[in-house]
Structure 1
């Protein structure tokens, strides 16, 4: 075990904890106590995400010698996945941990059933945060949360979880940060300056193109739904009743088929390209801030940083508009069972863009804190 005191960041929704009688908070205390009993070392668990600097605290630890002793424990529930704040923490932590080769420091607890997480048919989850969690060896607490907290079964489960945390920390490999390749190491395993820049050079135009297409396709969907609203008004004026509304819904579903398919495809491409390169970009920005870049490389890095700032500005405007549209679609989805699957697909695609904005915003935050001089 490392000499540095281990620390866990407990990511959960306070609503879940209140609804479950405070059991989520008490679980963190029990795990910390059990960890200390079996290892002889204290385990500090930070619970309150609303406190100032909660996210900065784990980022600071990951950027320091405490890298291998810092982990995030998301308490996964349906409410957790609906919380944009919780989603952001998982996305950001996963990117930083992957940039250091320490993916196992994300330790999810499946607390209340999320069907997508437990599916065993091999299909890719439709939710990208669920997919990030599913790649880890999550702990199943769905039945255990119903047990008495002082029962032997519950206490044994707490012991096993504390033991697992101890084993993960014990076996965590040294951080493998992204570094610019040295002349003596042209074939280094970690992507270096040239590889990251080449990937970004290819990806940036794709992201701008997807954002532009996404906005125009959502605009088309908006026009079609506006058309349907006018048709329903006309139908009601003719006293066609619910039969008339059903007819309009059927027509709208047909008209939305292609744009919905397009939005789904764009959302998936956007998230996949961002998440794939995220660890390399985080590592590159971190390495740039440490100094040691050649003058020419420093100039290229400045240009790259400016491109990221431009991408962040453009995507932020589009993301804000999409978020409002997604909320309005959510209300409309309740009006027709025929349209509900399509509207859910639209919401899922928009969520991918919103989650992608978390990745880009984290890049920009790091860039703004980086002094290339």
Structure 2
């Protein structure tokens, strides 16, 4: 076994635990007890993410580079996916784990049925956090959660899960460093540190441009919905009734077809690019913090980190407005079955940008903690 004490971060919504009579918290305790019986070592599970202990342990484990003794165990339910805090935990941990080749450390438990996880998105927009979870070997607890906690079947399942944790600790590879391949990389000429950083610096303005385009289309959608509100008010004043409202709704749905398609494509593109490069960027920042760099490489790293922080500042302001817009769209979708699919697509696209902000914020946080000395160009 690894020398570090095994630690699990139990990611769940408190409301789910309340609705299920405290069974989610009790499950964590049973797994920890079973783990200790199997291995003779305690498994410390952090439950209260609002506590100082959770926050300190979370940052310490991420910042010191995850080892095969740190797990994130998300309890997947519809409410979990609706919690921005829970989504952030999955996204952050996934990026750090992938940067070290330790994907097994994210161990989701499918607790209450989420159709997208087992049946695909079907007629609803894809959820990128569901996709992150689906790529892991998640544990199916949907039927087990209805079993008596002292039943043989339930106890056997707890034992198997604890055994799986112990096996992961025994078999995961040692810490691995992942580098970002340059697009034109060849086996004979692998990119150096400066080449990799240059590729990243080129990508950052493109991401900022995508966010600005996204915000522009969202503004257009807002103008269209504002137009519809005015048209409905005019129709009502003329005694148009529900027939008048339906006419406006149909016209709005037609006017939204193009901007909704564009915002969906931009949101998917933005998330896909960020998620793909996330492990590599984390790896680069970790490498910069550990390596004894030349003066030239240090200046390259300073410039790169400055770009990251500027990107985070700009996109953070934008995503704040997008969250408010998404909330309003969610309320509006309740009033029209005709518009509901389009509004769901808009919300899913906005969610991708908001989740992308989690990735950028983590880069900025990590870069902020790296000491590269004084800026030679200042």
Give the TM-score, by structure 1 length: 0.94
Residues 61/303 of structure 1: CA separation in 2 closer, same or farther (3 Å cut): same
Q: Which residue does the alignment assign to 2:352?
A: 352
- 1:41-62 deviation per Cα after TM superposition (whole angstroms, max 9, x unaligned): 2111111111125244134234
Task: Supply the distance in 1 between the matched residues of 2:122 and 2:338 (Cα, whole angstroms).
Answer: 27
Q: Mind listing any 5+ residue stretches in structure 2 that lack a counterpart?
A: 374-378
- The CA deviation at 1:230 is 0.7
Corresponding position: 1:50 with 2:50: yes
Task: Supply the distance in 2 between the matched residues of 1:60 and 1:192 (Cα, whole angstroms).
Answer: 29
Q: Which residue does the alignment assign to 1:286?
A: 286
Residues 275/65 of structure 1: CA separation in 2 closer, same or farther (3 Å cut): closer
Q: Which residue does the alignment assign to 1:127?
A: 127
Residues 145/135 of structure 1: CA separation in 2 closer, same or farther (3 Å cut): same
Q: Which residue does the alignment assign to 1:29?
A: 29
Equivalent residues in 2 for 1:140-155 (5 A)?
A: 140-155=140-155
Residues 351/122 of structure 1: CA separation in 2 closer, same or farther (3 Å cut): closer
Tell me, yes or no, if the aligned pair for 1:260 and 1:346 is still in contact at 8 Å: yes
Equivalent residues in 2 for 1:257-268 (5 A)?
A: 257-268=257-268
Q: Which residue does the alignment assign to 1:82?
A: 82
Tell me, yes or no, if the aligned pair for 2:194 and 2:300 is still in contact at 8 Å: no
Equivalent residues in 2 for 1:1-373 (5 A)?
A: 1-64=1-64, 67-119=67-119, 126-178=126-178, 193-194=193-194, 196-373=196-373
Task: Supply the distance in 2 between the matched residues of 1:94 and 1:317 (Cα, whole angstroms).
Answer: 24
- The CA deviation at 1:147 is 0.4
Tell me, yes or no, if the aligned pair for 1:35 and 1:42 is still in contact at 8 Å: yes
Residues 189/146 of structure 1: CA separation in 2 closer, same or farther (3 Å cut): farther
- 1:140-178 deviation per Cα after TM superposition (whole angstroms, max 9, x unaligned): 000000000001110111011111111111111111124
Tell me, yes or no, if the aligned pair for 1:34 and 1:159 is still in contact at 8 Å: yes
- The CA deviation at 1:324 is 0.6
Deviates more, 1:114-123 or 1:92-101: 114-123
SS at match of 1:31: helix
- The CA deviation at 1:180 is 9.9
Tell me, yes or no, if the aligned pair for 2:17 and 2:25 is still in contact at 8 Å: yes
- 1:210-244 deviation per Cα after TM superposition (whole angstroms, max 9, x unaligned): 11111110111011001100110111011111011
Residues 40/122 of structure 1: CA separation in 2 closer, same or farther (3 Å cut): farther
Task: Supply the distance in 2 between the matched residues of 1:152 and 1:125 (Cα, whole angstroms).
Answer: 39
Residues 291/84 of structure 1: CA separation in 2 closer, same or farther (3 Å cut): same
Residues 356/273 of structure 1: CA separation in 2 closer, same or farther (3 Å cut): same
- The CA deviation at 1:40 is 1.7
Q: Mind listing any 5+ residue stretches in structure 1 that lack a counterpart?
A: none
Residues 45/277 of structure 1: CA separation in 2 closer, same or farther (3 Å cut): same
Residues 357/190 of structure 1: CA separation in 2 closer, same or farther (3 Å cut): farther
Tell me, yes or no, if the aligned pair for 2:66 and 2:97 is still in contact at 8 Å: no
SS at match of 2:337: coil
Give the TM-score, by structure 2 length: 0.93
- The CA deviation at 1:179 is 6.2
Task: Give the total of aligned pairs.
Answer: 369
- The CA deviation at 1:372 is 0.9
Root-mean-square deviation (CA, aligned residues, Å) is 2.3
- The CA deviation at 1:321 is 0.7
Q: Which residue does the alignment assign to 2:376?
A: none
- The CA deviation at 1:205 is 2.4
Task: Supply the distance in 1 between the matched residues of 2:180 and 2:82 (Cα, whole angstroms).
Answer: 38
- The CA deviation at 1:199 is 3.4
Task: Supply the distance in 2 between the matched residues of 1:204 and 1:180 (Cα, whole angstroms).
Answer: 14
